[in-house]
Each structure stands twice: as C-alpha cells, then as structure tokens.
Amino acid sequence: MKDLLPRLLLQCALPLLLVLLTAGCAPSDSGSTGSDAGTAPRVALVMKSLANEFFVTMADGARAHQAEDPERYELIVNGTKDESDLAQQVSLVEQMVATGVDAIVIAPADSKALVPALRKAREAGVVVVNIDNRLDREVLSSEGVEVPFVGPDNRAGAKAVGDVLAARLEAGDRVAIIGGIPTAFNAQQRQAGFEDAMNELGAEIVDVQSGGWEQAKANVVASALLSEHPDLEALLCANDNMALGALAAARQAGRDDLLLVGFDNIDAVASLVESGEILATADQHADQLAVYGIELALELVASGEGTASEDRQTPVDLVTGDPSPAQE
C-alpha cells in the first residue's frame, strides 16, 4: 500500500513529460508571429510538407513578408508531415477555423479531398485563398463554394522551358519525359507544357514515365530510358531534382551529349544551368507564392467580400545559362 504514491507518480510522469515536451516544441514553428491580436487580421498559412525545400522557401518568404510590416497582419504557419498527409491537413484547417483566424491561405495536399473542410471554413466566415495546387473546380461547384486560386501557370512555364530545348532539336528527334507524381495537378500541367513544346516542333515523345519528383527514382527511370532508346536526344524532367538524377544517368551511360531541362530553379542546379549541362529551368518564385496568396486574402478581408471569382496568375520566369537564345 505504501508504495502506491511513488507508483502513481510514475504513472503520471510519462504523460506529463509528453505534454511538457509537446508544449515546449509547439511555439517554435506553429506559433504565431505578430502584434496586438485585437486589430490586425490573423492569416493562417496551411502548407503541405514543410520537409520539402519548395514549401520551406514558400513559408520563409511569407514570414519575411510579415516581418517587414508586423503591424499589418498576424501570420500562423502550419505544415503537414509529408506531401500526401491529407487527414492531418484537414484537421489543421479545422483547428485554424476553431482558433478564429480571419483568413486561410492553403496549398492543398489534395485538390478534391480538402474542399469540404474549406467549405466549412467559408461557412464560418473565414476567407479562403488557394495557392500552389489548384482545387478541383467540379468539386468546388458541387460543394457550392468559390475559392480563388493564386498561382503560377505551370503549363506555360513548362512550354517555355520546352521551347528552349526545341530550339536545339529538329523535327523527328526522339525525346522522353520524366514526370512528377501523376496524380498531382502541377505534374500534369508541366507534362502538358512539355508536350505542347515538343509537338509544336514535331519531335517524337517515345515515353513518359514518373520519377516521383525524386532524384534516385528518376535516375533509375532515366537509365532505363537511355538503354531502351539509345537514340534519345533529350529528357524533359518535371523538376530539378529529377533532372539531377537524369544527369547522373546520362553521365553513367556516357551520354554527355544528352540534352536536359528541369523545372523549379533550385540552388543545386544553378551551376549546371550556367554551364549548359541543364539547358533550362523555370523559376516560379517559390518565396513569393504564399505572399501573393496572403496579399489577396488581406484584400478580401479588408473589403469584407470574403471571396473573389477571378483567379490570379503569378509570374513564371525562364532560366537559361546563355542569356541570348529563345527568350521570347
């Protein structure tokens, strides 16, 4: 009987420790940065995987934007564990609504599954702006909500990148595309843009395969494509990480002449674009993508309208090593 107390203490210790740990960790990333909560609107930025370089850049850009004028609005940044963690993102949206934010700017993990949660947010009077991955229009209209999309035109960007490659090819040349995750909207758009450019030239697209946005996987696919189609002239990769994987494959196969293009303009490819080993990539200004969304959200909060019917397009710039060719 007398050892009941220590045992009870021990029983409580673990949960207590967990609570303390979580509490200790929480404010660093998901905590709000801002001023007096009374007047300034509160904007929640709900991201996909904060493990991904692209989304980290996006979030950092938003934080920097908020820090420039801290009086203007309060920013709460949240992200999910990985890019496909739907359930977590839905509960993030619900939490944000529950804490009474004025606006949610969201990069949806899924273009359909997030719509019901966002409808509830709208019904609670929260302004919702969609960035990065466009919500499915049919689902939006069947749920009866309007959510403006602010984002880059991936298809036009990919077309521009493809055009740089096209200038180096002739009609009838054989090329292949290494795409992203096939269910992702931006992967589909980039593939379409690449296809537009290649079809316009009359090049033959011998194969389109997914590299899963990932270096090692793209490397396996690129190696296989090179052995299967020894006469391949070029590989169009839907992001730069996959272009790096393809570059390693080309070197391994002794195909230094293989032409490569990518997308995203990550730091790692800067020197390769400079040297022409990667012909072109596209910069969609990741650091500004969330900021554009936040700007629209603030406008909508200020005007009291809640939503806009017009989408807003953000710039995508072509990046090449050589400043002269095919810029227009």
Partner 1 sequence: MTASAPDRPAGGAGWAARSFAPVGLSLALVLLVALFSMLSEHFLSLVTLRTIANQIPPLMVIAIGMTYVLIIGGIDLSVGSVLALSATAAGMAMHGGASPLVAAVLALLVGSVCGALNGSLSVGLGVPSFIVTLGLLEAARGAAYLVSGSQTQYLGSSAEVFAWPIGGLGLSASFLVAMVLVVVAQVVLTRTVFGRHLIAIGTNEEAVRLAGIDPRTPKIVVFVASACLAALAGLFQLGYLQSADPNAGIGMELSAIAAVVIGGTSLMGGRGSVLNSCLGVLIIAVLQTGLAQIGLSEPMKRVVTGAVIVVAAVLDVVRERVASRPKG
Q: Binding to partner 1 by residue 71, rule CB under 8 A?
A: no
CB 86 → partner 1: shortest distance, Å? 18
Residue 184, φ and ψ in degrees, nearest 5: -80, 135
Query: Exactly one of 17, 26, 37, 51 binds partner 1 (CB under 8 A); which one?
Result: 51
Query: CA separation (Å) from 19 to 23, 26, 178, 210?
Result: 6, 10, 45, 42
Crossing angle of the two packed helices 185-201 and 154-166, in degrees rounded to 10: 30
Q: Which stretch binds partner 1 (CB under 8 A): 103-111, 157-165, 240-248, 293-301?
A: 240-248
Total binding residues toward partner 1, as defined by CB under 8 A: 38
Q: Binding to partner 1 by residue 97, rule CB under 8 A?
A: no
Query: CA separation (Å) from 134 to 105, 124, 144?
Result: 12, 22, 16
Q: Binding to partner 1 by residue 205, rule CB under 8 A?
A: no
Q: Which stretch binds partner 1 (CB under 8 A): 113-121, 191-199, 210-218, 312-320?
A: 210-218
- The gap between the terminal CA atoms of the chain, to the nearest Å, is 85
Query: Exactly one of 209, 283, 295, 312 binds partner 1 (CB under 8 A); which one?
Result: 209
Q: Which stretch binds partner 1 (CB under 8 A): 69-77, 167-175, 215-223, 306-314?
A: 215-223
Contact 233, 255 (CB under 8 A): no
How many Å is the Cα radius of gyration of the chain?
23
CB 32 → partner 1: shortest distance, Å? 22
Kindly compute the dihedral angle of the four CA atoms of residues 108, 114, 119, 125, in this order, to the nearest 10 degrees: -40
Element of type H or E holding 89? helix 86-98
Q: Binding to partner 1 by residue 272, rule CB under 8 A?
A: yes
Sites for partner 1 among residues 164-193 (CB under 8 A):
182
CB 106 → partner 1: shortest distance, Å? 20
Cβ proximity to partner 1, 224 vs 302, nearer residue: 224
| Alpha carbons 309 and 18: distance in angstroms, whole number | 45
- Mark residues 249-268: x for contact with partner 1 by CB under 8 A, - for none: ---xx------------xxx
Query: Exactly one of 100, 172, 230, 315 binds partner 1 (CB under 8 A); which one?
Result: 230
CB 60 → partner 1: shortest distance, Å? 10
Cβ proximity to partner 1, 121 vs 238, nearer residue: 238
| Alpha carbons 258 and 52: distance in angstroms, whole number | 28
Q: Binding to partner 1 by residue 214, rule CB under 8 A?
A: yes
| Alpha carbons 209 and 221: distance in angstroms, whole number | 7
Residue with tokens 């999309």: 149
Query: CA separation (Å) from 82 to 26, 55, 88, 137, 327?
Result: 18, 11, 10, 24, 36
Residue ranges in contact with partner 1 by CB under 8 A: 50-53, 56, 182, 207, 209-210, 212, 214-216, 219-221, 223-230, 240-241, 244-245, 247-248, 252-253, 266-269, 271-272
